[in-house]
Chains A and B, each alone.
Chain A
Amino acid sequence: MQDVNQFKPKIVAFCCNWCSYAGADLAGTNRLQYPADVKIIRVPCSCRVNPMFILRAFQRGADGVILCGCHPGDCHYTTGNYYARRRMTLLFSMLDYLGIEKQRTRVEWVSAAEGAKFAATMNEFVAAVTQLGPNKRLEDLRCKN
C-alpha cells in the first residue's frame, strides 16, 4: 500500500510540439512507465517558453519545471532551441544565484524517436525533486490549495 502522506511532487514539463511532445507520445505507446506527477504543457517550440512561464509554474505550486525541446540543430523552426538554450541557461543561473535549488529546473533535448529517453528523464527528474521536497522558496501562499 502506498503511504498517503508521502510527498508527491508536482512537475510541469514544457514540451515542444515537434519533438518532445511526440517523444512523450512514443513513451506512452511503448507502455513505458513514468510518474503521473508530470504534467505536460505543449508549446509550439522550446523558445516559446518565456522565463515568466517557469516562474508562474512555481508560483502556482509546481515543485519542479522541466523544458524539453528538439536537439540543437533539429528545431522545426531551425533556430528556436538555440535561443531557448541561452535564455534558460541565464535564467537557471539566476535562480541558483538567488538561492533556489538548482535541481528544480532542467532542460533536456528529447527527439520524437526518444520515447525511452523521455521516460528515463522524467523518472530521474521526479526522483530528484522528490528528494528535495516541496518547493518553499518560490511559492505563492495565495496559490496553495
Chain B
Amino acid sequence: MQELMLAKAKELLQNGTVNRVLGWQAGEFVYDITPAVFESEQDLDAGFVYNEFCGNNLSKYLIKESRKEGKVLAFLKPCDTYSFNQLIKEHRIIRENVYVIGVPCEGKTDGETLKSKGVKGILGAKSEGDELIIDTLYGEQRLSKRDALTARCLTCKSKKHVVYDELLGEEGEEVPENHRFEEVEKLEAMTPDERFAFWRGELSRCIRCNACRNVCPACSCEKCVFDNPASGISQKAAADSFEENMFHIIRAFHVAGRCTDCGECSRVCPQNIPLHLLNRKFIKDIDAFYGEYQAGEDTESRAPLTNFTYDDVEPSIVYKGGKK
C-alpha cells in the first residue's frame, strides 16, 4: 500500500494537480509516527510511510493546509474521512483545495499497546488476516488482532470512506456490530458512588497538557475558553479536582454532537485517561434521546444540539430515570 500511495502522490505532484502531500512520517522509532507535509518527491522518498502504526487523524491539519496556496493531497483513513466531512460541514476546510485519497485501514496498533503485550525491540509490523506479524530485534512475533490493535480500532464503527476524490485499495464496510458503547453501559450500570470514584481516579491524573484538545478535530476554535491570554502564564496544571472535572466536562460538551468518535483524545493522552468514554456518553445519549446520529456522515444534516423537535424528552428524564 505504501508503494502504491507513493506512486500516486508522485504522479499527482508531477502533473501539477497538487503541490504538496499530507501524510505520515516515521520518527526515531517505527512506531513514532508524525503527520507531515511533503513538498517534493525527494521529501516523499526520504520520509513518507504508511504502515500499521499510522493512527494519526490527518483531517485537522487540513484546516490550515487548505487555506494555503495550491491544492494539497491528503491521504485519509475511513475514520479520518468522518472528521473531514464534519469540518466541511462547519466550513473549516476549503474543500476545493484538498484532493482526498481514501486509503484502507485494517485497524492500527501503537507502540504502547504492543509493549504492554510484552513485545520488545519493534522494527515493523504488517497485518495478515486476523493476525499482526511484528518484526522485532529478537525475531518475528505474531499477535492476534484482538491483542495487538488499539482499543479504539477494536470498536471501529466503519471501514468505509464517507468522502474521497479517489480510492486506493478496496473499500471496506461499515461495522454495525461494533460494541463501542459497552464500556459506557458498564459505567452506567454502576452506582453513582462507584462512578464518581472511577472518574476521580481517572481524571485526577490529568496534567492539563491540553493534548486532547490540540489533537481533537472538533476542537478547532481559533479562541478556546480554556485559554486566558491575559493570565501571563499558560493555563495548565489543574489546581484541584473541580478544574479537572470542569475541563473535561466542558470540552466533551463543546464537541457533543460534533465528535465523530475518532478516538484521538484517548490515543494522545499521556496519562491514559479514557477520554473517549465522555464523548461516547454524549453520542449514546444523543442516539437514545434524539435518534441515531453519526457526526461526519454527511455534510448537510443539522447537528443535534443546533436542532430540536417539539416533543423532545424533558431534562427530568435524568433524575427520574427512564430510557438511557
In the assembled complex, A89 has its CB within 8 A of some CB on chain B: yes
Cα distance A64–B317 when bound, in Å?
Answer: 17
When distances are taken between beta carbons in the complex, the residues of chain B under 8 Å from A91 are 249, 253
Interface mask (A81-113 → B, CB under 8 Å = 1, otherwise 0)? 011011111111111111111110111000000
Best-buried of A90, A101, A106 by chain B (most CB within 10 Å): A90
Taking a contact as CB atoms under 8 Å apart, the answer to whether A93 and B285 are in contact is yes
When distances are taken between beta carbons in the complex, the residues of chain A under 8 Å from B286 are 90
In the assembled complex, B165 has its CB within 8 A of some CB on chain A: no
Cross-interface CB contact of A92 among B240, B242, B309, B319, cutoff 8 Å? B319
Taking a contact as CB atoms under 8 Å apart, the answer to whether A59 and B196 are in contact is no
Cross-interface CB contact of A98 among B195, B240, B282, B316, cutoff 8 Å? B195
Taking a contact as CB atoms under 8 Å apart, the answer to whether B312 and A86 are in contact is yes
When distances are taken between beta carbons in the complex, the residues of chain A under 8 Å from B246 are 52, 55, 59
Interface mask (A47-77 → B, CB under 8 Å = 1, otherwise 0)? 0000110010011000000000000110000
Closest beta carbon of chain B to A102's beta carbon, Å = 4
Cα distance A138–B242 when bound, in Å?
Answer: 6
Cross-interface CB contact of B281 among A97, A105, A142, cutoff 8 Å? A97
Closest beta carbon of chain B to A20's beta carbon, Å = 15
Closest beta carbon of chain B to A108's beta carbon, Å = 8
* Secondary structure type dominating chain B contacts: helix
Taking a contact as CB atoms under 8 Å apart, the answer to whether A82 and B308 are in contact is yes
When distances are taken between beta carbons in the complex, the residues of chain A under 8 Å from B324 are 93
In the assembled complex, A79 has its CB within 8 A of some CB on chain B: yes
Taking a contact as CB atoms under 8 Å apart, the answer to whether B253 and A90 are in contact is yes
When distances are taken between beta carbons in the complex, the residues of chain A under 8 Å from B209 are none
In the assembled complex, A140 has its CB within 8 A of some CB on chain B: yes
When distances are taken between beta carbons in the complex, the residues of chain B under 8 Å from A105 are 318-319
Chain B residue total in the interface (Cβ 8 A)? 47
* Secondary structure type dominating chain A contacts: helix
In the assembled complex, B315 has its CB within 8 A of some CB on chain A: yes
Q: Knowing A52-B225, A140-B242 are in contact, say whether A90-B199 is a contact too (CB < 8 A).
A: no
In the assembled complex, B304 has its CB within 8 A of some CB on chain A: yes
In the assembled complex, B227 has its CB within 8 A of some CB on chain A: no
Best-buried of B197, B256, B304 by chain A (most CB within 10 Å): B256
> Which chain A residues (2-53) contact chain B, with CB distance < 8 Å?
51-52
Closest beta carbon of chain A to B48's beta carbon, Å = 41
Taking a contact as CB atoms under 8 Å apart, the answer to whether B195 and A99 are in contact is yes
Interface mask (B283-324 → A, CB under 8 Å = 1, otherwise 0)? 001100110000000000000111111101111111100001
Further pairs besides A83-B308, A86-B307: 14, Cβ < 8 Å = A51-B250, A59-B246, A79-B308, A85-B315, A86-B289, A89-B318, A90-B305, A91-B253, A94-B278, A98-B199, A106-B319, A139-B242, A140-B242, A142-B240
Some 14 contacts from A to B, beta carbons below 8 A apart, are A55-B245, A55-B246, A83-B306, A86-B290, A87-B305, A89-B285, A90-B286, A90-B305, A93-B285, A96-B319, A97-B195, A97-B281, A98-B195, A106-B315
